[in-house]
Amino acid sequence: MKKITTIVGLVLLIVSVSSVAGSELLTLIKMLHQNGTVDDAQYERLLAEIEVNSLIKQKQQDELSEKLAEVNQVKVEVDQGGLRVKSSDDEFALNLGGRVQVDSAWYDEDGTEQGNGTKIRRARIYLQGKMFHDWGYKIQYDFTASGTKGIKDAFLTYNGFDHVAIKVGNFKDPLMLQDQTSSKYTSLIERALPEAFTAGRHIGVMATTKHKHWTMAAGFFGDKVAVADAGADEGWGLAARATFAPINEKRRILHLGVASNYRKTGDDKSVRFKQQAETHVSGINIVDTGSITDVESTLISGAELAIVEGSFAIQAEYLWTLVERDFAAELDFDGWFVQSSYFLTGESRRYKKGAFGGIKPASIVGRDGIGAWQLAARYSSIDLNDNEVAGGQADSVAIGLNWFPTNTLRFSANYVTILDVDNGPTHDEEPRLFQVRGQWAF
């Protein structure tokens, strides 16, 4: 609406400038007429000429205003690094942007070779738009994956209802605070070990209601976008998440959340849970159940807690997974983490309706600033051992430093130590790793 105000303002200004100009001339003419210097006939002729010229001027300025408005029907912005275009009437918009994350990691192995190296972790572009005010869409592709697997967000939203938004397409199931928070804004480079239980994205339909102090989302989901088993029924699921934020101030937040994710397996009837050592350069899983077969369904439940007190933040989650099988006892896996972060430069984690958002440095590098500097630490734990399944149990301690020179840039360094590995592909090993990331978002 800002744009439309600008245009209306321009028009009003142009009109008013014209109406004021020359009033001193009219005053002079009136004086000269009163003085008798200008006679009645001359006076009338002058008034008529003023009238005609004023009408002509008015008409021309109306046309000018109209044409100026026509030229300025959209607002174009590049000051976030990407491109944002929106129509003046707030009916249409299009954003073009993306993110690139480049990682490098060095491993201090303890048996299994992990593999020092580099990796483009994510290279995404997205198009996000608004159509006819009430409809929104997003398509986001990750070039580090092939074909359909690279399709991340691909959804349509309807925002025409008062308090409920409807989403259709491919998007994240509502599960885990660390998953609802963009990978651009996690406190450590990779998410915590219980990410093994991530639901990820499925093709589905979801209703969401968001309020200052609470949110709720519930959806029905089909299978993953890359699943295309010819001649086999795909899996499906039901997912819901509720969050409460009894305290939601700018630098003071108390967030509580619960979520549940039920999934019926497709005809393949298998599931697998696995996780790397909070790194993705290596490719080595430190816990891995392998393919568990004859699975009827899974039920993943989560509990979330987050506290922000000024520059200090704490976030904890517990995930519990139940695997129902056809011919064998049900399996019971779980995991949890507690992480904490602190901005040395005074910023605060930003919270918006059930998830953490981007970091806005208090000062910008290149504008007499040093950017935002953040310390983070985390303890994670996962247990994929149950019954005959020996996926492994592992803990992890991670510490990290993040530097955000601008709101579009991030450089991070993490040191991770894996502890107490019991069973799984790397039984009894305790590797350590140092990992750095460069990230730019636009």
227 contributes a contact to a copy of itself by CB under 8 A: yes
Q: Is 93 a binder of a copy of itself (CB under 8 A)?
A: yes
284 lies in the binding site for a copy of itself (CB under 8 A): yes
CA distance 24 to 360: 53
Do 265 and 227 touch, CB atoms closer than 8 A? no
Contact between 212 and a copy of itself by CB under 8 A: the answer reads no
Q: Which two tokens stand for residue 360?
A: 């806005």
Residue 271 engages a copy of itself in binding (rule: CB under 8 A): no
From 358, 333, 338, select the one nearest 348 (Cα to Cα): 358
Rounded Cα distance between 334 and 336, Å, is 7
Pick the closer one to a copy of itself by CB: 35 or 212: 35
> Rule CB under 8 A: is residue 362 a binding residue for a copy of itself?
no
Residue 1 makes contact with a copy of itself by CB under 8 A: no
**Nearest Cα to 207, choosing from 257, 241, 179, 234?**
241
359 binds a copy of itself per the rule CB under 8 A? no
CA atoms within 13 A on the CB side of 384: 29
Find the binder of a copy of itself among 4, 57, 301, 417 (CB under 8 A). Answer: 57
Handedness of CA 63, 69, 73, 77 (dihedral sign): positive
Q: How far apart are CA 290 and CA 301, in angstroms?
A: 21
How far is the C-alpha of 120 from the C-alpha of 141, rounded, in Å?
14
Structure tokens belonging to residue 47: 């008034």
Examine residue 116 and tell whether it contacts a copy of itself (CB under 8 A). yes
DSSP state letters, 314-363: EEEEEEEEEEEESSS--EEEEEEEEEEEEETTS----EETTEE-----SS
Size of the site for a copy of itself (CB under 8 A): 125
Q: Binders of a copy of itself among 159-198, rule CB under 8 A?
A: 160, 168-170
One of 40, 79, 162, 368 touching a copy of itself (CB under 8 A): 79
Least CB distance from residue 371 to a copy of itself, whole Å? 10
What residues from 28 to 47 belong to the interface with a copy of itself (CB under 8 A)? 28-29, 31-32, 35, 37-38, 42, 45-46
Nearer to a copy of itself, 1 or 35 (CB): 35
Q: How far is the C-alpha of 294 from the C-alpha of 384, rounded, in Å?
A: 17
Instruction: Tell me if 67 contacts a copy of itself by CB under 8 A.
Output: yes
- C-beta of 183 vs 301, nearer to a copy of itself: 183
Per CB under 8 A, 327 contacts a copy of itself = no
Q: Which of residues 229-248 bind a copy of itself (CB under 8 A)?
A: 229-234
